[in-house]
Structure formats: structure tokens, C-alpha cells
Amino acid sequence: MKSSPPAPKPKPAAPPPRTTLTAVEMGARQREISVSEFFTKNRHLLGFDNPRKALLTCVKEAVDNALDACEEAGILPDVAVKLEAVANGGAAPPPSQATRFRITITDNGPGIVRQQIPPIFAKLLYGSKFHRLRMSRGQQGIGISAAGMYAQLTTGKPVQITSRTGARAPAHYFEVQIDTKKNEPRILEKKQIAWESPRGTQVAMEIEGRYQKGRASVDEYLEQTIIANPHVKLTYVTPEGETKEYPRTYEQLPPSPREIKPHPYGIELGMLLKMAQDTKSHSLSGFLSSDFSRVSPPVAAEICKTAGLSPNARPRDVHGQAAENLYKAIQSTKIMAPPTNCLSPIGERALLAGLYRQIKGEFYTAVTRPPSVYRGNPFVIEAGLAFGRAPEQGEPAQPKKAIPLAEGEDDQDDHELARVIRYANRVPLLYQPSACAVTTAVLDTTWRNYGVAQSRGSLPAGPMVIFVHMASVWVPFTSESKEAIAEYDEIHKEITLALRECGRRLGAFLRRRERAHSEFRRRNIFELYIEEIVQSCNRLKGGRLATAKLKDQLLKMATKITGGGKTDELLGKNGSGPEGLPHSIIVTPEGVEAHGAHARTKA
């Protein structure tokens, strides 16, 4: 075979001549970007990264707003959520196949005044909550308009709003869309309509989405919402057409949180300068004492003195080195921590009630920590635990197998990892668990100390739900989609302390139950021999013994030396009834047992 001569290598094509641009040409390309254009391209930042999550986000934004509005207006919330699969040409597909959904959320809140409807639903960064420090679910003024924008982007349909402010006022109906270039509302329809509700708001939108049950689904979000909000009545019509009713179990609204001023420790230099520019006060000391919380006139005078500034200086004139001195003086002055009556935690009792209702288990506990502060913002951490499986009603819990496990052999329970449910201002957080301060605090807790198995670097094992709630005037989310809490040292520490307290209570319960199990086994062995002993004694006495009486006495002694009634109680064999909801409840097949400060108060 003759090899053909190698083909001559083609000459590499000369690279296209580099185009160079002048600053003027580059300058001509600079353009302003409106927030709506920005978030249209970056919609994952707002929680619209895939169709399943988008469906959840839209429901969540509307429900959170409904609950905020009701609570702020002092109305016990009554919210209805309806999901419908929509045909995209042809007949409506089954919900699991559908790619388009109509979402309708109705509340009995205060309603919205007519002029505000278009900007609320069709202008990003418009809202009543951003500029004040008050605990609420929403804080950014972007949630519901972003949902509307997503609807517009994926189906082209406008958001439909019906709102009424009272039985005497007419109901207004609007259809709006966002002009993304200008970030301004475009009104496609507005009219007065007849509406059966005397007061409230209804939002309806059609979006591209996917409906799937399970983790991080709409169903899970609603169920978790109920745990942290037992004062809410919720009706949910699933895409399958099933109506789920969640009645109110707590008849009181949470105390209305107060609005506070920023605390000086939480203010950065730039913010301090801006506040000094915007203030209505004419003197530096007036500015400090009226625009910040916990700065009394004497404290303001002290700050001015430390900074070497006149208390009568005009706040606007404070800049440059003087501003830096002022900032340093604030940091070095002792100022009381911010007030904490601006927070409205769920509370141990309501939390226990919520956990007990939604999660099946054998042991429950809840802890509300005292308020703490990060970056000048007050916050409260609450934690709860639901442990175990639901005891079969009527059938006493069986003591654990007495046979020791072989090396390497695990109890069935140990394969199951604990589930962590996270909340911020009563809103369940369903995504980005690994980015959240809650998850790291759960992982950093040594659960083995409390009798729960845990492999290194992983969640504790066992049938357990761990609940953590952060209530704050400003929750530091890691992104605009509000899915994970940022890792501040103070927050991490508080979560850890709350978890440890729950862990200690769980540990005590597990130890006591284990002891009760072994006492019970011992008692069974005694009982096995009592009959024989009675017969032997009777024979010794020539058959003249009151056997029934002796047997009874021996049985009583066996019970007494094996923990007495307490053992039965712990194992749920004595039918103790529900005793209310103190900080821990233990559920046995016969009922609920209460422990703690309020153990004797009836529910």
C-alpha cells in the first residue's frame, strides 16, 4: 500500500481584525436599566427560576400579603386559595400534566383604595413596608408585582384585582400590566362591579407553572403556614378540585407589632450621612434623639461631646472627618438595646398547638428565646420539636426490643433524618436550606448529647421535625426571593441556644422513657413469678393461705419497686387525659401529658 503524501496543512485563517471602540462609541451604548427590565432577566432572584417554584412563589406572595394586611388592620384572617389547571389550547389537561394555572387568592382584609391598586400590582418596588421598621411578612415592596410580571411574561395575561374597603363602598375591578421599560402600571380595564364580599381583596393571575405535591409544594407551604399561624382560617381548592379546610385553632390575633426607629448601632456611615441630610431636626443633638431609638437627649449630648462636635451643629453640615468622628462616637457610647415590643413572636403555647395539630408525634416542645439584636435590629428566635411517630390509638406503645442490636446494625429509625422547617416572620421558607443560618445551627448542634443519633456533618437521625422561627423588624435574607436567613453571629447563637433547650427537654424525655421501659420489663418478670411464689407459700402453710390477698400484695409491691404509676404514665398505660399545652407535651396512646410551668392549666 502506498501511502498518499500528507495533505498540505490549511493555513490558519487570519483572525478577524479586532474592532476597537472609543470611549465616545462606548458611551453611546450606556443606557439606564429599569428595575423591571432587570428583574425580567434575573427572575430567579425573585423565586421564578422554574415553573414549579414559580407557582409556589405566586401563591406565597399573595397569601403573605393577605395575612399582613389582615393583621395590620386587626382582622382575623380568612383566606381562600384556589388553583386551576388552564387549557393552553384544547381541553384542560390533568393537573399533573398542566403547564398553565390560574391562581386566585381572596382575603377578608381591609381592601385597597382605588388609586393604589395599579402601582401595588404593576410597579416593582412599591409598597408600604420597606420604609419602616416593623415586623411583617413582606418588606421589600416587590413581591406581588413581580408575580404579576411573571404572569405577563409567561402567558401575556394581566393581573385581575377586585377590592372593596367596606360594605358601603363599591367594589373596584382592575386589570393591570407592567410597562417594563418605565416600571409603571398600564391599566387595561377598570370598573365598579358587584361583589359578594363586604370587604377584602381578590387577586387572580394566570401563569406558566407546574403542580406537584411533596417537598416545597404549594400544599406543603400552606400546611406549614398553618403551623406558625394558628389564628388563620384557610380554604384551599387544589387543582384536582378538592377543597381542604383548615379551621382557625387560635382565636386571637397576634399582638400588633409596633414600628420602631433604627437603632444607632445598626447604622452604617453612609446611612448616617443620608439620614443627616434628610432629617427635619435643626440640631445635631435633636437629630440623634429624634431619629434613632434609645437615644435620649443626655445620650445625644454625650455622643456629640465624644465626637468633638457641637450639639447645635446643623446635621447637614456634618460630613467628612466630622461624620466619621460622629460614627465612631456612636459606636463607643453605651446605648440601651432597642425596644423589643416591636416583635410579635408566635409564643410557646400557640406554637405547641400548631405543631401538635399538623405533625403526628409522641413528644413536643417549644421555646421562645428572649429578644436579641443583630446590626441594631431586634429579633426573637423560637424553636420547637416534634419527635416520634403517632402512637396507634388504643394500642399501647410497645417497649423497644430487648435484644441488643448487632454491631453495625441500626434501628429502623436511624435511617430517617430529621426534617427542619424554617420560618421568617411566620412565613415558611421552602428553598435554599443549605444557605440558611437555621440549617447550619441545626448541623452545629451536638444532638448526640440528647440521645439522638447523628453522623458527623449531617442532620440528626430519627422521626423528628425541628421547627425554627426568626421574628424580626428586618430579616436578613440572602436574596430578594426571601428563602434563606443570612449567617449573622448573633442569629446563629440564638438559634443554637433555642435548639439546645429543645434538645435538653427531648433528652430528658427519652431518658425517662427508656428508664420506664426497663422498669416495665422488670415488673413483667416479677409478675411472671408471683403466681408460683403464692402457690409455694400456700403449700408451706398447708393450703391455709389467703392466696388472692397475697398475690394482690405482691403485685402491688412489684409495681411500687418498678417506678409505680409514673412508669405506666410514661408508657401511656394509665389513660391520663389531656392537660393543656405547657412547654412540653408528651403524647401517649391514651392522650396528652403536659409538663412545665403551665402543666395544670386546662387547654
Ligand X SMILES: Nc1ncnc2c1ncn2[C@@H]1O[C@H](COP(=O)(O)OP(=O)(O)OP(=O)(O)O)[C@@H](O)[C@H]1O
Per-residue binder mask for ligand X (CB under 6 A), 109-128, x = binder: xx-x-------x------xx
Q: Based on CB atoms, which residue is closest to Mg ion, 67 or 499?
A: 67
Kindly state whether residue 144 participates in binding ligand X, applying the rule CB under 6 A.
yes
Find out whether 176 and 118 touch, Cβ atoms under 8 Å: yes
* Residue 142: CB minimum distance to ligand X, A: 4
Closest residue by beta carbon to ligand X: 138
| CB burial string 374-397: b at 16+ within 10 A, e below | bbbbbbbbbbbbbbbeebeeeeeb
CA-nearest of 111, 59, 106 to 428 is 59
Q: Which does 66 bind (CB under 5 to 8 A by kind): ligand X, Mg ion, none?
A: ligand X
Q: Based on CB atoms, which residue is closest to Mg ion, 120 or 570?
A: 120
Q: Based on CB atoms, which residue is closest to Mg ion, 204 or 351?
A: 204
Q: Which does 109 bind (CB under 5 to 8 A by kind): Mg ion, ligand X, none?
A: ligand X
Per-residue binder mask for ligand X (CB under 6 A), 578-597, x = binder: --------------------
Kindly state whether residue 145 participates in binding ligand X, applying the rule CB under 6 A.
yes
* Residue 202: CB minimum distance to ligand X, A: 9
Single residue of 69, 98, 232, 335 touching ligand X by CB under 6 A: 69
The span of 138-146, 353-361, 548-556, 593-601 binding ligand X (CB under 6 A) equals: 138-146
Q: Which does 148 bind (CB under 5 to 8 A by kind): Mg ion, ligand X, none?
A: none
Cα distances (angstroms) measured from residue 148 to each of 30, 38, 159, 249, 557: 28, 15, 6, 32, 73
Kindly state whether residue 264 participates in binding Mg ion, applying the rule CB under 5 A.
no
Q: Based on CB atoms, which residue is closest to ligand X, 108 or 285?
A: 108
Q: Based on CB atoms, which residue is closest to ligand X, 118 or 503?
A: 118
Q: Which does 201 bind (CB under 5 to 8 A by kind): ligand X, Mg ion, none?
A: ligand X
Kindly state whether residue 129 participates in binding ligand X, applying the rule CB under 6 A.
yes
Residues between 157 and 216 that touch ligand X (CB under 6 A):
201
Q: Which does 142 bind (CB under 5 to 8 A by kind): ligand X, Mg ion, none?
A: ligand X
Q: Based on CB atoms, which residue is closest to Mg ion, 73 or 453?
A: 73
Question: At residue 134, what is the residue type?
Answer: R
* Residue 138: CB minimum distance to Mg ion, A: 3
* Residue 180: CB minimum distance to Mg ion, A: 20
Question: What cell does 144 get?
Answer: 406581588
| Residue at grid coordinates 466630622 | 322
Cα distances (angstroms) measured from residue 413 to each of 359, 460, 461: 17, 11, 7
CA-nearest of 554, 537, 553 to 545 is 537
Q: What is the C-alpha separation between 445 and 466, in angstroms, rounded?
A: 12
Q: What is the C-alpha separation between 160 and 142, in angstroms, rounded?
A: 17
Q: What is the C-alpha separation between 559 and 52, in angstroms, rounded?
A: 58
* Residue 496: CB minimum distance to ligand X, A: 27
Look at the alpha carbons of 352, 355, 356, 362 in this order and tell me if their dihedral is positive or negative.
Answer: negative
Burial class (CB within 10 angstroms; exposed 0-12, middle 13-18, buried 19+) of 404: exposed
Burial class (CB within 10 angstroms; exposed 0-12, middle 13-18, buried 19+) of 277: exposed
Length of the chain (residues): 603
Q: How many residues sit close enough to ligand X to count as binding (CB under 6 A)?
A: 21
Q: What is the C-alpha separation between 13 and 97, in angstroms, rounded?
A: 51
Kindly state whether residue 61 participates in binding ligand X, applying the rule CB under 6 A.
yes
* Cβ partners under 8 Å of residue 114, min gap 6: 163, 172
The span of 49-57, 58-66, 329-337, 578-586 binding ligand X (CB under 6 A) equals: 58-66
Question: What cell does 126 get?
Answer: 412599591
Per-residue binder mask for Mg ion (CB under 5 A), 128-147, x = binder: ----------x----x----
Per-residue binder mask for Mg ion (CB under 5 A), 356-395, x = binder: ----------------------------------------
Going across the sheet that includes 233-237, the strands are 184-193, 171-179, 159-164, 200-208, 100-107, 78-85, 233-237, 243-246
* Residue 55: CB minimum distance to ligand X, A: 17
CA-nearest of 361, 357, 362 to 513 is 362
Q: Based on CB atoms, which residue is closest to ligand X, 427 or 499?
A: 427
* Cβ partners under 8 Å of residue 536, min gap 6: none
Half-sphere exposure of 429 (CA within 13 A, CB side): 30
Single residue of 142, 421, 438, 581 touching ligand X by CB under 6 A: 142
* Residue 113: CB minimum distance to ligand X, A: 9
Per-residue binder mask for Mg ion (CB under 5 A), 32-71, x = binder: ---------------------------------x------
Q: Based on CB atoms, which residue is closest to ligand X, 125 or 545?
A: 125
Q: What is the C-alpha separation between 3 and 61, in angstroms, rounded?
A: 73
* Residue 61: CB minimum distance to Mg ion, A: 5
Q: Based on CB atoms, which residue is closest to ligand X, 144 or 380?
A: 144
Nearest 5°: phi and psi at 377? -100, 125
User: What does the binding site for Mg ion look like in residue numbers (CB under 5 A)?
Assistant: 65, 138, 143
User: What does the binding site for ligand X look like in residue numbers (CB under 6 A)?
Assistant: 61, 65-66, 69, 107, 109-110, 112, 120, 127-129, 138-145, 201
